[in-house]
Structure 1
Amino acid sequence: MTRPDAVMPPMVPFLSAGFARLTPNLRGAVWMIASAVCFTVMTVLVKRLAGYSPPLQLFFSQLAVVIGLTPTLIRKPGVLGSGQLMLLFGRAMTAVAGVLLSYYSFQELPLADANALSFTRALWMAPLGVVLLGERVGPGRAAALIAGFIGVLVVVNPSAQTEVGWPHAAAIGSALLFALTVVSIKLLAKQHGTFSLLCWSSILGFLLSIPPAILVWTWPTPGDAALFVVMGAASVGAQACYIKGMTCGNSVALAPLDYLRLIFAVIIGVCFFNEVPTLSMVAGGALIIVSTVSITLWEARTRSGHP
């Protein structure tokens, strides 16, 4: 199995020495912040390149990633592994559908709203864990789930004058599909390491994006092509930094740092897209975050034997 530290290239020596002296949680925090920055860059580019449909955005960004991975795969072809191919393919199909819905929601919704709804992934993982892994949901966890989904209703705010439609449904649907891919990692981790899963996800994602991309094909300008390269790198960077961060320190302590994405989204939305967050987004987003943090703490207590 590939070690988690194989995901990211070594840092320059003068930074590496100081970084190594940090506590595990501080190192993990740095990786989590880097993940939030990468994710924000990716979503900003999704919105900036909204003239291209989601299938084209996925195709061009994944193409850039596959090209970047090719030298490593040529040198070390065994890194992919060969087990659980059907499960890998099913996970890739789910991930592609989730990405397409996610890109659509980020194109159509304010960045802050789309980010807030994306955090419902943690809420969906509980019922999926019950159905697919036979996990149990206690009263405390159930209450947190209900509070989280109430937060979703507050963000969507169907009673307001703003239109509620497919973009909101796409954001929630993508969170459900991403939750399914996370649950599948528990089944794949026995035979595949972090780098292997990233490679399979990128390669299969690229191949599966070809048919829908052909249907809406448009050649990108040279400038947009460069942005797609950055977008693909940011996408992989967000995943790799997140995984690295969670393996460096205590996952319960570090998980809340992922919510920096919402703060970054609000700042970018206000500064560059004139998207002023609404009161319902702030209130609903806070409720979603509190509920998902509560679920994380509950799961940690359960694993440690404290109900």
Structure 2
Amino acid sequence: MEEVETAEELLAKQHRKEKKDLQAKIQSMKNAVPKNDKKRRKQLTEEVAKLEADLSQKHEEELRQLKSETDTKVEVVMNGMETMKVEGEEQEEARQPRVTKAQKRRDKKAAQEKERESRIAEAEVQNLQGVRHQEGLKLAQKLGELKLQIKEIPSDGHCMYRAVQDQLAQQSKPESALSVKELRARTAEHMRSHADDFLPFLTNPDTGDMYTTDEFEKYCSDLEHTAAWGGQLELRALTKVLQLPIEVIQADSPTIKIGEEYDSEAITLVYMRHAYGLGEHYNTVERLKDPANAEDS
């Protein structure tokens, strides 16, 4: 016997189709705009963001309306059942089929799946309207003008070093053979041997005083041996270790350039404030892919 789809399943299927259709439309819009037309590309980015937000708002409203209708129907049914129980509870119980434990498990699993889909839909709406999505749009626009795109790096505490490692590999630098552990060790050693260049920028968060010698040594030890998050001080040390300039692209601030005294091709990183629930994160970049080739890959 063919299984009948519920209203929630039908609506979810409709939403998936509309999202797929929108993505196809967006791709068509992108293909129609010349890559060197910066003004039109900027307008396109804004149009795409509005289309995505409008569709998410529409989906959210449809989900809310369906939930309201479902709650109303459940209330009507429950009231009717209560009346039937009052009029003849024993007869009604005799006519009702007994629900097996297996059926109860299936019903519970189905309810959990529907709740999960609802949470996903709500999260998608919040993401499209939230700072993370807006940050992504701004970065995509900045990188697009440079014919670059983000290449994701895992968020494991080593993201800055992994991003540097990837850039070295893309440029076929001999240092690309260095592991993350080795990059950390060399960074820590440089900071230890040039403490005067770094100590003034490190302060105790509780007292506000500049780090003591012991506190600075612990900072360098954590940098070397743990997944301690790296920042601008470590990047400064890395430019000296690698003798390469490093540039960091941000959504809402000018690009940071470190190590401009070196003439080599710069390593390019992307700094994201809202990439994950934990907050700050570094990614690397790669050449912008042709949409047609990206679909085939």
Provide TM-score, normalisation by structure 1: 0.24
When Rg is computed on C-alpha atoms for both structures, the one with the higher figure is: 2
Provide TM-score, normalisation by structure 2: 0.24
Higher helix share: 1
